[in-house]
Structures are given as C-alpha cells and as structure tokens.
Amino acid sequence: MIYLDNAATSFPKPDTVVRAMSNFLERAGGNPGRSGHRLSIEAGRIVYDAREAVAELFRARDPLRVIFTLNATHALNLALRGVVRSGDRVVTTSMEHNAVMRPLRALERAGVRVIVAPCTRDGSLDLDAMYRAVEPGTRLVVVNHASNVVGTILPIAEIARLAHAAGALILVDAAQTAGVLPIDLAAMEIDLLAFTGHKGLYGPPGTGGLVFGENVDAAIIEPLWRGGTGSRSESEEQPDDLPDKFESGTPNGVGIAGLGAGARFVLERGVDAIRAHEVELTRMLIEGLQNISGVVVHGTRDAEKCTAVVSFTVEDRQVSEIGLWLDEEFGVLCRVGLHCAPAAHRTLGTFPRGTVRFAPGIFTTQDDIRVALDAVRRIVRG
C-alpha cells in the first residue's frame, strides 16, 4: 500500500504518538483539572505539556493562549462566531475550504457582509485585489495558509499587514501547514491561528486548536458553548480566564496526549527538514505527471510555492475512475473529487468534476512516488 492522502489525514502515525495515547489511558486516565487526586493531576500535566509543545511550534509565548478544539473546523467556527457580529464586514479568498465558506455564508444570512477576494487560476492570491477588498472598517480577514486542493501557499505576513492597516484582525486556517511550514505568530502578525492535529502534526483525529496572538483581547471573543471547566466552580457564569473560557466540558485527554506527542515529533524532526523532504517529493510528482501525455497538473506547478499537495486531471477520464483504479489495481491511496472546497475548484476551473489529489508525507519515499507515477501512466495508456 502506498498512502498519498496525507492532506486528509496523515498515516501512519509515529510510534511515539501511539504510545502517548496508550500511556494516557493506562496510567493517567483521570479527568484533567476536575479532581485533586494523582490521576487527575497527571492527566492535567499531559494536557499542559501538549499546550507547551504547540506553543513552541508556533512561537507562541503563552501556552495558555492555545485553545484545544475538536479540529480546525471547530477552531474556525469558534473564531468566526466569536468575533463577527451582524453588520460586520469580513474578507476572505476564493480558495477557501468549506470550513470557512459555510460558516461565512451562515453569517452572511445573519447580516454579515462577506467579500471574496479573487485568486488566480493557479490558486495564487491577487494582492492588489486583496488590498482593494480590505477597506477600513473591515472586522476580520480569514484566509488559508495553503490550499487543500493544490497546495498554493499564500503570503500571510503581507495579508496581515493589509488587515491591520484597515483595523481588522486576521484569522489563518493552518490545517494544511501546521507542522509542514514554519509558523511564527508574532513575526507573521497572525491574530488567530486555527490548526488541526491529524494532518501535519501527526496526531489523532478529533484534535486541533485555536491559538490567540499576543495582541488579541480574548474578552471580545464569545465562546461557542459554555459549561463546566473545573475552575471557578462557585460561579454560574463562564470564567474569563484562558484557556477555560473556550474549553467547557471534559477535554479529549487521550487525543491531546497524542497531539502533544505529534507536535514533539515535528519539533524533533524539524519543520525545515520535513519541508525539504516534501518539496523533493512534490517536485518528483509534478515533473513526473507533466511528462504523462493527457495529464493536466493544476496549481503553480512549482514545488517551492506549494505544500506537498498535487492535483491533476486526465483528459476524457473521470477522477473517480482513476482513483478507483489506483486503489484496487495498484494499491495507491489518494483522494478524488472536490475536497470540500468548491470555491477553490471554481477558481481553478476544475468544478464540478474535481481532481485527483496526491499528498505525500514524511513517511513517503521516492520509490513510492515512482510507483504512483507508473500507475498513473499505465491507467492513462489504458
């Protein structure tokens, strides 16, 4: 089996992640922050260690400003619903995932004005168009760091400067870049960073988070839900302290243990080393696919300008047919279709048929890429 679907969920997971989750259940299965006994204290320590690992990875100075969520979608909804009010103006791009577009469309029906800045056919952002879109008085700018369809990387620092000049906050969807690209909240001037645990951080599904930049006043953001936090139990009002304000209910301790181990795995490997490996594989894929007659590679076709996500189509062939043949005949696992990003596919010109998406990861080898390319070649020749 050759697994090329890491943009959906990374596989396999590092041994340290599996061990951390097993150890949590076997040795520290208490409810973190809810009791004073040894199992609860140990569970709380593991959760805090995970906060520290995530904070270190994103250069966030205060681990308490790392809010754990179910995934990036949950984090994005927390930020969007918590920051934006009826009458506000929000700017986004035409390459966004439905994790952004669906909440925005719901907010639009509630009186929020949503402006979509256009991207080009390769997924790159038109900065002039973004400049025109981010008018003074804009409340929030929300953008992906890299496309989940073609991997195109957006210039976050430049977008942040435009947002701040207009008095807006910037929310970055890092679902595809956390653990894959260097992220420095302060240097990139990111106000809110949404991430998921099960992709480039090599953690389990059901984990993710929202990181608050130092200049964001958490008091202006409303929680998605309220309830028990293990703190200030004498009050029936939600506490204002971070992270408790946004983490009501028993946390996914075992998942967070795995997420923390995944973040440590990335820190030990080094983001730069992971990036170099993925650039090499991405370059092989792009060049190899372009050399197959009838195959069209979408995006920038430049491994330095995208994450390890390569989408392609084949003339007169359905993407679902190609994906089925790759799996059943060649053991190559990938994703086909619209990838929950119809806006991106409209921008790329691949709507409604979608694309075949290859997404290698840290455990993918050059031999794996060669086998996948040979499989595509044989399918196309038919």
User: Has 340 been annotated as catalytic?
Assistant: yes
Claim to verify: residue 158 and residue 260 sit in the same structural domain: yes
Q: Kindly tell me the sign of the dihedral angle through the C-alpha atoms of 162, 165, 168, 169.
A: positive
- HEC secondary structure over 358-372: EECCCCCCHHHHHHH
Could you give the 3-state DSSP secondary structure of residue 152? strand
DSSP 264-295: HHHHHH-HHHHHHHHHHHHHHHHHHHHTSTTE
Q: How many domains does the chain have?
A: 2
| Higher pLDDT pick, 201 / 29 | 201
Mark whether 274 and 217 lie in a shared domain.
Answer: no
Convert the pLDDT of each residue in 193-220 to its tens digit.
999 999 999 999 999 999 999 999 999 9
Each residue's pLDDT tens digit, 158-172: 999 999 999 999 999
Q: Which domain holds residue 6?
A: 2-10+270-381
* Average pLDDT rounded to a whole number, residues 134-150: 98
pLDDT at 32: 87
Helices (H), the chain: 15-27, 38-57, 72-83, 98-109, 127-133, 156-165, 185-188, 253-269, 271-290, 319-330, 342-348, 366-381
Residues 292 and 248 in one domain: no
Classify burial at 249, counting beta carbons within 10 Å of its beta carbon; exposed 0-12, middle 13-18, buried 19 or more: exposed
Looking at the fold, whether 259 and 274 belong to one and the same domain comes out as no
For the chain, the average pLDDT equals 96
Q: What is the mean pLDDT of residues 98-112?
A: 98
**Confidence (pLDDT) at 28:** 85
pLDDT of res. 116: 98
Alpha-helix residue ranges (DSSP H) falling in 149-203: 156-165, 185-188
Q: Let me know the angle formed at the C-alpha of 286 by 198 and 349, rounded to the nearest 5 degrees.
A: 80
Rounded Cα gap, residues 278 and 127, in angstroms: 27
The total of other beta-carbon atoms located within 10 Å of residue 232's CB is: 13
Closest to 58 (Cα-Cα) out of 204, 199, 205, 186: 186
Rounded Cα distance between 210 and 72, Å, is: 8
Task: Among 269, 284, 309, give the residue marking a domain's end.
Answer: 269
Residue 33 has pLDDT above 90, yes or no: no
Q: Are residues 340 and 241 in the same domain?
A: no
pLDDT of residue 232: 84
DSSP annotation of 238: P
Helix 253-269 / helix 15-27 crossing angle, nearest 10 deg: 150
pLDDT for position 382: 77
pLDDT tens digits, 19-28: 999 999 998 8
User: Within this chain, do residues 307 and 342 fall inside the same structural domain, yes or no?
Assistant: yes
Q: Is the pLDDT of residue 29 over 90?
A: no
Mean pLDDT of 312-326: 96
| pLDDT reported for residue 322 | 97
CATH code for position 294:
3.90.1150.10
> Do residues 262 and 291 both lie within one domain?
no
**pLDDT number for residue 211:** 98
Q: Closest Cα partner for 192 from 275, 94, 81?
A: 81
pLDDT band at 285 (very low <50, low <70, confident <90, very high): very high
| 73/59 same-domain check | yes
Query: pTM for the complete prediction?
Result: 0.96
H-helix or E-strand containing 208? strand 208-212
Distances (CA, A) of 15 to 262, 269, 288: 10, 14, 32
The pLDDT-based confidence of 128 (bands split at 50, 70, 90) is very high
269, HSE (Cβ side, Cα atoms, 13 Å): 25
The answer on pLDDT for 137 being more than 90 is: yes
For the domain that residue 179 is a member of, what is the CATH number?
3.40.640.10
Mean pLDDT, residues 347-376: 98
Q: Does 361 share its domain with 247?
A: no
Instruction: Indicate if the pLDDT at residue 34 is higher than 90.
Output: no
pLDDT beyond 90 at 234: no
If asked whether residues 259 and 283 sit together in one domain, one would say no
Residue keyed to tokens 């976050």: 156
In the predicted structure, residue 358 carries a pLDDT above the cut 90: yes
**pLDDT at 231 > cutoff 90:** no
Identified catalytic residue from 119, 306, 334, 340: 340
Strands 66-69 and 208-212: antiparallel
Residue 115 has pLDDT above 80, yes or no: yes
Nearest-10 Cα torsion for 121, 349, 181, 3: -150
